[in-house]
Chains A and B, each alone.
Chain A
Amino acid sequence: MNEINITDILLVSTALFFVGVYGFFTRRNMITMLMSVELILNSVNINFVAFNKYLFPQNLDGIFFTIFIITIAAAEAAVAIAIIINMYRSHHSVDVEDATDLKY
């Protein structure tokens, strides 16, 4: 099995990251924004796993971090969805542009 070059992996994760950032900035639907955040988190996960494998194969730190992040992302998704549902109840909308009450 040919070794995959680390640069390729980083390219994928960077692409994933910016797709996520782009989605987060451009989408108005909160659920889509949440999905974008998941993309960003997953690009970080890829980075962690790749660096762990290529730079410190004898350690497992990167893997552990990845697992942590997946767990936290699950928790975060639960909280975020709860917020979105509540938002929908009070504003009858999941559009982030409608939720601008918290300002000066």
Chain B
Amino acid sequence: MNIYSYIALIPLLPLATFLLLGLFGKKYFSSISGILGTFTLAVSAFISLAVAYSYFFVNGKVDGVFQQIIPLKYTWLTFSPNVSIDMGIVIDPLSVMMLVVVTFVSLMVHIFSLGYMKGEERFATYYAFLSLFTFSMLGLVLSTNIFQIYMFWELVGVSSFLLIGFYFEKPSAVAAAKKAFIVTRFADLGFLIGILILSFHAETLDFQTLISRLTDTQSTQLMGITTASFMGVSMLTWGLTLVFMGGAGKSAMFPLHIWLPDAMEGPTPVSALIHAATMVVAGVYLVARLFPVFVFDAAALTIVTYVGAFSALFAAIIACTQTDIKRVLAYSTMSQIGYMMFALGVSGKGGEEGLGYMASLFHLFTHAFFKSLLFLGAGAVIHLVHSNDMKDMGGLRKHMPITHITFLIACLAIAGIPPFAGFFSKEEILTAAFHSNKLIYVLAVFTSGLTAFYMFRLYFSIFWNKEAHLHGEHHGEGTLSMKIPLIILGACALLAGFVPIADWVTSDGIALETHIDIVFSILPVALAIGGILLALSFYKTENSKSDKIASSLNGFYQAAYHKFYIDEIYLFVTRKIIFNLIGRPAAWIDKNIVDGLMNKMASGTAVISEKIKGFQSGKTQEYALYFFLGIISLSALFIYIIK
């Protein structure tokens, strides 16, 4: 036992809530299910904060280095003396930070949903699913074993599926849920193969052992995995790339991003929790967890870098053209996660080299706050306007002052304007990119300008532009429970940048000295302000400037508007190629050969029995005759033939 054993409570409380609400919620707790879920999660969040305090300030450090502590470990399945699947809890800076982020954002979403989902028929079910998700996500970040993480990874996928499809009477929601599940599941296939490759060569499933074996240049396991190769690429690169494929699926990296915009069919608080702040950063978490191994393999890390950087730019361009506010936010999430990914990619191991690692997780931390704030703000707006389309909005600033102010703070934070949270983390990322790869740096700076533009396009379109024309009765800005999370998250988006993540979460556990270089910051901030001003001139009042620009860029604009036809390409590949070349022949074989054989056997039996059933005539003497003839022929057989 360890002083940290009580951490097990953090994931177990939401699990208990899930079971309680899932089994009995509808019958017994439908009115208090929200309060119940929120309360238990508040306890979890409180414990997380206590853990964070005690770990970062009291007893996490030994000789100035944060230690990895494993307070609980229970062997679940043993394959061989060395290989087993364990269920355990790991405490290190990374998991503690994730604990705080997940429980805190989840708590905010729970509180917000009290107002947003009020009067919903399946209110208790909604809270049960939220609890299930929180449990899985907490289990994921606390995993000690690569297989444990895989199980929770799938659980997270299931809860995401359930919540996207929460409004299952809408066909589009069902389609989106299926799409999200299938795409991430496909990516998880890569993850599973990656796990098998890595653990086969490292001969363990345990993270600690796996990392120590694959980073020790003397170990036979590292020798084995680097010398073994498939198609000219070492098994280490294959394993890591496939693991990254799983991460890219969950984190919506190009080209596995197609599910994320559609996932916005779910209730908006769910989008804030799952598809903005927590689940989608699981990929980043995974790469960060295996980071010591990734550092060993330049090829895999390069893939991470370029996929991240490309996704960041690609999503930012699409975000500029979308009109559904949640889709804009979805693409901006994808873009920001791209930032985190390439920050990991450009990072090195330890010390100043490890700036990218720290910057990535710092960005994950700040992004969780301002992005969930943006989504909750969007939720409040949608709650009022009953539409997702920004064409139906405009001039809402007078109707919803709190939402307006907090949304503005979040937009400033994501655009990277000092002193808001996003500024600090983005600066660290840009610095890391600048020192490592100039091309990535240029892409990142350009993307940050685009980010400012499309976020303020969104902001002005919702809150300024034309006069509000809300017709009929509306219920104002929403209940108190919807405003409180906005205010708290607004404060976080304002202040999270001052949290000294650099002292805590670094690639080697040693505090990293960081400093904001004013000269270096000028360019990105200037670009961000430029983007804001551009958005201001286009969208603050109703005018046709933006339409003119759009029509002058006609082809490119259309392509971006249609998300560069990635969905169509996927449809083409699945419908035309996979269905026709693999699906249909396989179906033919199944129908005609597998089923056909069985059907032939059945019908053959039927035909034969139809033919011979006349023998059973019911006439006793006929039977006796057959019997007698049988005896005679058997006797003849034994007497004359067999002897």
In the complex, the chain B residue whose C-beta lies closest to that of A96 is B620
Shortest CB-to-CB span from B605 to chain A, Å, is 15
Report the separation of the CA atoms of residues A33 and B620 in the bound assembly, to the nearest whole angstrom.
11
In the complex, the chain A residue whose C-beta lies closest to that of B625 is A25
Tell me which residues from 8 to 58 in chain A have a Cβ below 8 Å from any Cβ of chain B: 21, 24-25, 33
Partner of A104, one of B613, B619, B621: B613
Shortest CB-to-CB span from B300 to chain A, Å, is 71
Tell me which residues from 571 to 626 in chain B have a Cβ below 8 Å from any Cβ of chain A: 613-614, 616-621, 624-625
For the complex, would chain B's binding face be called helix, strand, loop or mixed by DSSP majority?
helix
Contacts of B618 in A (CB 8 A): 99-103
Interface residues on A, range: 10 to 19
Report the separation of the CA atoms of residues A100 and B618 in the bound assembly, to the nearest whole angstrom.
4
Partner of A96, one of B614, B621, B628: B621
Flag A49-81 by CB within 8 Å of B: 1 or 0 each: 000000000000000000000000000000000
Partner of B617, one of A24, A33, A100: A100
In the complex, the chain B residue whose C-beta lies closest to that of A27 is B621
| Beta-carbon contact of B624 and A24 below 8 Å | yes
Report the separation of the CA atoms of residues A33 and B614 in the bound assembly, to the nearest whole angstrom.
24
Flag A89-104 by CB within 8 Å of B: 1 or 0 each: 0000000110111111
| Beta-carbon contact of A24 and B621 below 8 Å | yes
In the complex, the chain A residue whose C-beta lies closest to that of B621 is A25
In the complex, the chain A residue whose C-beta lies closest to that of B619 is A100
Report the separation of the CA atoms of residues A78 and B6 in the bound assembly, to the nearest whole angstrom.
84
| Beta-carbon contact of B617 and A21 below 8 Å | no
Shortest CB-to-CB span from B544 to chain A, Å, is 87
Contacts of A103 in B (CB 8 A): 616-618
| Beta-carbon contact of A25 and B617 below 8 Å | no
Report the separation of the CA atoms of residues A24 and B625 in the bound assembly, to the nearest whole angstrom.
9
| Beta-carbon contact of B624 and A25 below 8 Å | yes
| Beta-carbon contact of B616 and A21 below 8 Å | no
Shortest CB-to-CB span from B259 to chain A, Å, is 60
| Beta-carbon contact of B620 and A104 below 8 Å | no
Shortest CB-to-CB span from B612 to chain A, Å, is 10
Contacts of A102 in B (CB 8 A): 618
Contacts of A104 in B (CB 8 A): 613-614, 616
Shortest CB-to-CB span from A16 to chain B, Å, is 16
Report the separation of the CA atoms of residues A21 and B621 in the bound assembly, to the nearest whole angstrom.
11
Report the separation of the CA atoms of residues A102 and B621 in the bound assembly, to the nearest whole angstrom.
13
Contacts of B625 in A (CB 8 A): 25
In the complex, the chain A residue whose C-beta lies closest to that of B617 is A103
In the complex, the chain A residue whose C-beta lies closest to that of B613 is A104
Could you pull out 21 A-B pairs where Cβ atoms are within 8 angstroms? A21-B628, A24-B621, A24-B624, A25-B621, A25-B625, A25-B628, A33-B621, A96-B621, A97-B619, A99-B618, A99-B620, A100-B617, A100-B618, A100-B619, A101-B618, A102-B618, A103-B617, A103-B618, A104-B613, A104-B614, A104-B616
Q: Ordered nearest first, which 10 A-B pairs have the shortest CB separation?
A: A103-B618, A100-B618, A104-B613, A104-B616, A102-B618, A103-B616, A100-B619, A103-B617, A96-B620, A25-B621
Which residues in B have some Cβ–Cβ distance to A below 8 Å?
613-614, 616-621, 624-625, 628
Other than A100-B618, A103-B617, A104-B616, give 7 A-B pairs with Cβ distance below 8 A. A24-B624, A25-B624, A25-B628, A96-B619, A96-B621, A99-B618, A100-B619
